[in-house]
Structure 1
C-alpha cells in the first residue's frame, strides 16, 4: 500500500521539479518517494545531488543512510546517520536508523544509546528551509498555522516565542484543544503553574477523555508542587485513558512508594517496564524495593538494566549497583562497580559524587569478607537524581 502511494506521488513531484529543479523540499520528497517505491538507486542519486548543493542537509544524509541500509551496507548507513545526527542532534528518525545499523553491526551498547536518544526525540525533525512555504505562512493567519509555528519554536528551544504563537492560535480559536494542551506543557516547563493549570482545566472541559497527556502533565505539575494525593489521581486518570503510559506508571509507583505501599509500587514499576523496557528509572526503583526486601538476585538483575546508555546518570546507577552487591554481601562485585562508578563520576566532572564513592570504596576495602558491607538505608542515599 505504501509503495503504491509513493509511486503515485512520483508524477506530481516530477512536475513540481520541472517548474523549479532546485526546490529543496520537492527534491527531498522525491528521494523519499523513490525509496518508498522501491527505486533505491534512483533515490540515492537524488540524495547525492542534494548533498552536492546543500552539504549541511541533515535530511539528505538521513535519506542516503536509508538508501545504504536498504542496499545492505550498514557501515556506510551508520556513518551517514551519524552525520545527520551531528548536523541536527535531536533528529529522532536518524537516531533510530543509527540504532538499527549499530545493532546489525554488533555494536550493542552504542545501539542502545541511540535507541534512547530516538525515544527522547521521537517526533523531532530538522526545520526545512522553504522560502515559498514561509511566504505563504506569512499570509496565512489561521489558528492551525500559529499552532504549528508554536510547535516548531518549542522544538528549537524558543519557549517564550512558542507560547506567544500558541496563545495567538487560541485567540483565533478558543476551542482548539491541542493549543490548550501545548500551553499546559509549555507553561509547566517554565514553572508557571497557575497558567498551566488554567489551560489544563480548559482542556478537560473541552475534551475530558481525549488527551491522556493533559492528565499526565498536570500530574507532574502537582507532584512537583508536593500535592501528592491530587497527583496520584491525575496519574490514575492518565492510565485509565492510556494504560501503557510508562511514565505515568513510574510516577504512580513513586507516589505509592512514598506511602509505604511497596507491593503496589513494585507492580507499577513492573508495568512501566512492560510498556517500556528501556525505562532506567523504573528498573532502578524496582531494584531498590527488591534490595530493601532482601531479594538481592532479582534486585541486581533490575539494576544491571540501568547501566546503558552511558551518560551523566550512569555513575549514580553504577554506584547503586555496587551498593546492592554490598548489601548482598558480595565484596568483590561491590568493589568492582564502586570503582567503575568513581571513574565515571570523575570523567563526567561529578566531583561530589566521586568523593562519596571514594569514601565507600575505602570503607568496603577495610571490611572483612564476613562483615556487613552496606547499611540498610544506603541504597536510597545513592539514588540517581
Structure 2
C-alpha cells in the first residue's frame, strides 16, 4: 500500500506542476481512499484549492493535516498563504511565524512575514525580516522588491531605485524590477533612461501594457507625440484601461493641435463611462476652438459632480480669466 501511495503522490505532484489541477485532485482523492490519514494528500489538496482561489476550502484541508500531524510545516506554510488570500493578514502571519519556529532558516517564509508586515504598515519590522531573508539568501528577489517598495513609501527614491535595479540584475524574470526602476526614472523626468528600461521589459514581455504606457508617457515628456500615441495604442491593445489610454491619446493630439482627433478620442473614452480627465480634455478642445461657452458648460458640470476638485477649479479660473464676459451668460452649477 505504501509503495502505491508514494507512486500516486509522485503522479499527483507532477500533474499539479503541469497545471492539471483537476487530474491532480482526482489522484490525491484516490490516495485518501487508500490512506485517509495521508497528510501528503491533504496538503496537496489544500494547495490545489489555494491555486484555484478557493481559500476557505484550502484552510479546511490544511487544518485536517494538523489533526494527524500537529507541526506539518507544509500545511502551516499553505495555511498562511490561504489566509493571505482571504485578506486575514493576522492569521497569515501567525501561521508563518509558526513555520519559522519549525524552520528558522527558511528565507522564503521570512519574506512572506515581511510582506505581511509591510501591508499592515509596520515598515521597520518588515525591513528587519527582509534583511533577515537576504542574510540567508542574498539573491532573494522578493526581499529586494519589498525593500524597494518600502523605500518608495518612505520617499527615498534613490534607495528604491538601487533595490529595483538589483532585482532586475538577478531575477530570471526581471520585468517587475525593471518596470519599478523605470517608473522611478520616469517620475524624475529621466525619460530616455526610463524608455531604455521599458524597452528591456518589452523584450521579455512584448504585451506588457504597463511598459507600453510608461514608454508612451516618457515619449510625451520628450514631446515625441506621434510616437507616444502609437505606444498608447499598443498599450490599449494589451489591456490598458481604455478610458485612461484614450484620454492620454487625446491629450497628445491637443499638443499636436489636432483638435478634431483629440475630441474624437475624448468622446470615445466618455462613451465607455464617466471619466473626469476626458471631460477636462473636451473642455480644452472647446476653448482651443474658441467656443468658451461650451468649455465652461463642461467645467460647470464637472464642478457639480466633483465639488472641491482643485484641478477643475483651476481650469475654470483660467477660462474665466481669459473670457471674463462668459461668466454672466453661461449658467454655472454651484461649486
* TM-score (norm: length of structure 2): 0.64
For the structure 1 residues 12 and 333, does the alpha-carbon distance in structure 2 shift closer, same or farther, using more than 3 Å as the test? farther
* Structure 1 position 321 matched with structure 2 position 282: yes
Q: Shift in Å at residue 147 of structure 1?
A: 1.0
In the TM superposition, residue 152 of structure 1 has moved relative to its aligned partner by 2.1
1:77-125 CA-partner distances (Å, limit 9, x unpaired): xxxxxxxxxxxxxxxxxxxxxxxxxxxxxxxxxxxxxxxxxxxxxx965
CA distance in 1, matches of 2:313, 2:32: 57
Per the alignment, residue 15 of structure 2 pairs with: none
Are 1:338 and 2:299 matched, yes or no?
yes
- Give the SS at the match of 2:163: helix
- Inter-CA distance 232–5: structure 2 relative to 1 (3 Å threshold): same
| Structure 1 gap segments, 5+ residues each | 19-24, 37-42, 51-122, 368-385
In 1, Cα distance between the equivalents of 2:155 and 2:85?
23
Larger Rg: 2
Say whether residues 1:158 and 2:117 are aligned partners: no
Deviation of 1:319 (Å):
2.0
RMSD after superposition: 4.2
Match among 171, 179, 182 for residue 219 of structure 1: 182
Q: Taking structure 1 as reference, are residues 353 and 4 closer, same or farther at Cα in structure 2, changes over 3 Å only?
A: same
* Cα distance, 1:277–1:247 mapped onto 2, change above 3 Å: closer
**Quick one: structure 1 residues 277 and 177, their matched pair in 2 at CA, closer, same or farther if it must change by over 3 Å?**
closer
Do 1:341 and 1:357's aligned partners in 2 also have CA atoms closer than 8 Å? Answer: no
Cα gap change, 1:293 to 1:223, in 2 (>3 Å): closer
SS of the equivalent of 2:138 reads: coil
Aligned position for 1:287? 250
Counterpart in the other structure of 2:313: 354
Other-structure match for 2:203: 240
Change in CA separation of 1:164 and 1:12 when aligned onto 2, cut-off 3 Å: farther
Q: What is the TM-score of this pair, normalised by structure 1?
A: 0.57
Query: Does 2:142 align with 1:178?
Result: yes
- Aligned 8 A contact 1:296 1:324 in 2: yes
* 286 and 168 in structure 1: CA distance in 2 versus 1, 3 angstrom threshold: same
Report deviation, 1:288: 1.0
Residue equivalent to 1:264: 227
Residue 196 (structure 1) shift:
2.4
SS of alignment partner, residue 260 of structure 1: coil
The Cα shift of 1:239 comes to 1.7
Structure 2 counterparts to residues 61-140 of structure 1, below 5 A: 125-127=86-88, 129=91, 134-140=97-103
Deviations 1:243-266 (A, max 9, x none): 222222222222222222221111
After superposition, the C-alpha distances for 1:265-311 in whole angstroms (9 at most, x for unaligned) are 1111111211124154432221112234344444234324555776x
Secondary structure of the corresponding residue to residue 243 of structure 1: coil
Match of 1:175, SS state, is coil
Deviations 1:42-78 (A, max 9, x none): x9xx99xx9xxxxxxxxxxxxxxxxxxxxxxxxxxxx
Q: Which has the higher contact order (CA 8 A, sep 6+)?
A: 1
Q: What is the Cα deviation at residue 211 of structure 1?
A: 0.9
